[in-house]
Amino acid sequence: MPETSISCTPHSGMARTGWQRTALSAVLAAATLLTSGCAGWVRDNLTQAPTPWRRVQPTALPVTLPDSRDFPIVAARMRDTGAVYKSYIVVLGNPTVLPGENRLSIDVQTLPDSLFGALVQPPRVFPVPLYTMETLLATTKREFPGMTVKVADAARRNRYGDYDYVTTQDAENSCVLAWQLISDHKRMLPERIEAVRLEYRACGIGSNVRALLAPFDGLSLTLPETVLEAQDLGAM
């Protein structure tokens, strides 16, 4: 290949200026192209959008549920939202003939591990507060159509502290919807985890609400780093 007449030797002032100008032009062109979306970039940053749900084995879930004949694990799936959120749904058996799946949903919010991650975060996948009376009514109407819902006056406590719940009943069945936000990242959560949100929906035959809540009361989080339990912290 014939040599070109352009010299890049450091001794040549003219050539250096030419090289610098070329480099500058290249950088400018690249910057223009990149910022104008003409270099194969998509318009929006899709890395912050939730991925589609994918199936996982129950063993890959960050939770262990007590064995239950009425509420066995039927399926499990997960998805990511950005690098910050991992969401899981555990579908449980539903012994009733009522519509809707029994399930435990878990959202784990981790802290970003880079400056860029901290600057570009996806919108939070769960609201805080988890429910207002309006959103709770809308949710229970959707979850338990045609049933009368009662909001429990007092919270209950599981391994990770207090949680709130509603109950519904008809002639043959009862249902519960419980929700909990674990956000004590000073004492309870490991350093890298900002919050864990749990939501549990179960319908069963009969009127024993405690039995319905037993899986939620007895669940144990199995995240890579230990989440301390309420009893570890003494009186919370």
Shortest Å distance, C-beta 18 to another protein: 35
Nearest CB to another protein, comparing residues 87 and 158: 87
Residue with tokens 């200026």: 17
Find out whether 147 and 175 touch, Cβ atoms under 8 Å.
yes
Shortest Å distance, C-beta 84 to another protein: 18
Over the window 29 to 68, marking each residue x when it contacts another protein by CB under 8 A and - when it does not, the resulting string is -------------xxx-x--x--xxxx-------------
Find out whether 183 and 96 touch, Cβ atoms under 8 Å.
no
* Of the candidate residues 18, 62, 100, 122, the single one contacting another protein (CB under 8 A): 100
Nearest CB to another protein, comparing residues 127 and 226: 127
Nearest CB to another protein, comparing residues 140 and 158: 140
Question: What is the distance between the alpha carbons of residues 158 and 236, in angstroms, rounded to a whole number?
Answer: 12
Residues 6+ apart with CB under 8 A from 109: 84, 85, 124, 125, 193, 194, 195, 196, 197
Decide: is 122 part of the binding site for another protein (CB under 8 A): no
Question: What is the distance between the alpha carbons of residues 182 and 161, in angstroms, rounded to a whole number?
Answer: 8
* Of the candidate residues 18, 19, 58, 77, the single one contacting another protein (CB under 8 A): 77
Question: CB-side exposure of 111: number of CA atoms within 13 Å?
Answer: 11
* Of the candidate residues 7, 15, 74, 220, the single one contacting another protein (CB under 8 A): 74
Sign (positive or negative) of CA dihedral 13, 14, 17, 19: negative
Nearest CB to another protein, comparing residues 96 and 158: 96
Q: List beta partners, residue 166.
A: 151, 177
Binding residues for another protein, rule: CB under 8 A, are: 42-44, 46, 49, 52-55, 74-75, 77, 91, 93-94, 97-101
